[in-house]
Amino acid sequence: MAPKEMTDKLINLSKSLGADFIGIADSKGFLNPEYQGNKPQDIMENCKSIVIVGVTIPNGCFEPLPKGRAEYTNTLMAGTATLRIIGFKLLKFIEELGYIATLAPSEGSEFGYWYADKETLKADFSMKYACYLSGIGKFGLNHLVITDKFGPRVRMAAIITDAPFVANSHSSEFIDSRCK
């Protein structure tokens, strides 16, 4: 199957599974000398694409803050669980195409296991930088990803794969202009 056809099918599947947005980054973007973090190529040597899928966080969960943190936390957890299911189904689709794929953790720690490096607090690779490379958004001054359509109120998951999906283009602007 041609890369464009695979990409279109992946995008359509992700939307049908409930993703609000999807972006694809070329793994070569992580080889830029200005990038200082860990690279997806350290996880999968033959990585070609990083697929970012995301869901928006419903505005209602912010209403009870700061007093009602339980509602906010529960909503974020539901978003993360939703992304894991979407991500897993996308992994299966990619592997049915004859490629390999893995789902990167979107949390620093969970179930008593710490994913990020405790010394540097760096993850295995920067999902935020992948979001930038995939055209989903830019960085805010607070180091959050600010998506063009949904702002910062999103949850995301990343799939690292050797599938040659067609990557999105990204902005030449690294810091979101609304944060200057």
Residues 6+ apart with CB under 8 A from 105: 115, 123, 124
Please give the backbone phi and psi of residue 12, each rounded to the nearest 5 degrees, phi first. -60, -40
Task: Find tokens 């592997």 and name the residue.
Answer: 95
pLDDT > 80? residue 64: yes
Tokens of 157: 């998951």
Q: Which position has the token pair 């969970």?
A: 110
Q: Is the pLDDT of residue 46 over 80?
A: yes
pLDDT tens per residue across span 130-170: 999 999 998 888 888 989 889 889 999 999 999 999 999 88
% the chain with pLDDT above 70 = 89
Q: How many residues does the structure list for the chain?
A: 180
Q: Can you tell me the mean pLDDT for 24-31?
A: 96
Q: Give me the CATH number covering residue 75.
A: 3.40.109
Domain that holds residue 126: 3-179
Count how many domains the chain has.
1
Please tell me which residue, 48 or 66, carries the higher pLDDT value.
48
pTM: 0.89
**Residue 12 is encoded by which pair of tokens?**
């359509």
Task: Kindly report the average pLDDT of the chain as a whole number.
Answer: 88
Question: pLDDT tens for residues 83-133?
Answer: 999 999 999 999 999 999 999 877 655 555 556 666 776 778 889 999 999
pLDDT for the residue 121:
66
The count of other CB atoms within 10 Å of the CB of residue 162 is: 16
**Among residues 73, 55, 51, 65, which one has the least CA distance to residue 166?**
51
> What's the rounded Cα separation, in Å, for the pair 133 and 152?
16
- Supply the DSSP symbol for 107: S
Residue 21 tokens, joined? 């947005």
- The confidence score (pLDDT) of residue 113 equals 56
Q: CA-CA distance, 87 to 10, in Å (whole number)? A: 11
Read off the tokens for 13.
Answer: 């599947």
